[in-house]
């Protein structure tokens, strides 16, 4: 009576497109640049904190020495 056919695709499709080597290298270079900026900022902040500590400690020692004299 009814001639019907059912078609089923059994081919697995990729969820994400594959990246070629140039894209992977570009991605790595971008990540390395971002990491470098973050590390450089952290080093600057630590350096500023150390300098501030040294200055404040020197002021404290001078105040203690002048108070005891």
Q: What is the pLDDT along the chain (69 residues), one digit of tens a residue?
A: 678 888 887 887 777 766 666 676 778 888 889 999 999 999 999 999 999 999 999 999 999 999 987
How many Å apart are CA 36 and CA 42, to the nearest integer? 10
The reply to whether 51 falls in a domain is: yes
- This prediction has a pTM of 0.56
Phi, then psi, of 41 in degrees rounded to 5: -65, -40
The reply to whether 56 falls in a domain is: yes
The reply to whether 11 falls in a domain is: no
Range of the domain at 38: 29-69
The reply to whether 42 falls in a domain is: yes
Number of domains in the chain: 1
The reply to whether 15 falls in a domain is: no
Question: How many angstroms separate the Cα of 17 from the Cα of each of 20, 50, 57?
Answer: 9, 48, 58
The reply to whether 63 falls in a domain is: yes
């Amino acid at each position: 009576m009814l001639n019907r056919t059912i078609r089923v695709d059994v081919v697995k499709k990729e969820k994400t497109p594959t990246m070629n080597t140039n894209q992977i290298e570009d991605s790595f270079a971008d990540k390395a640049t971002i990491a470098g900026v973050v590390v450089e900022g952290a080093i600057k902040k630590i350096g500023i904190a150390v300098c501030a500590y040294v200055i404040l400690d020197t002021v404290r020692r001078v105040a203690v020495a002048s108070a005891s004299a």
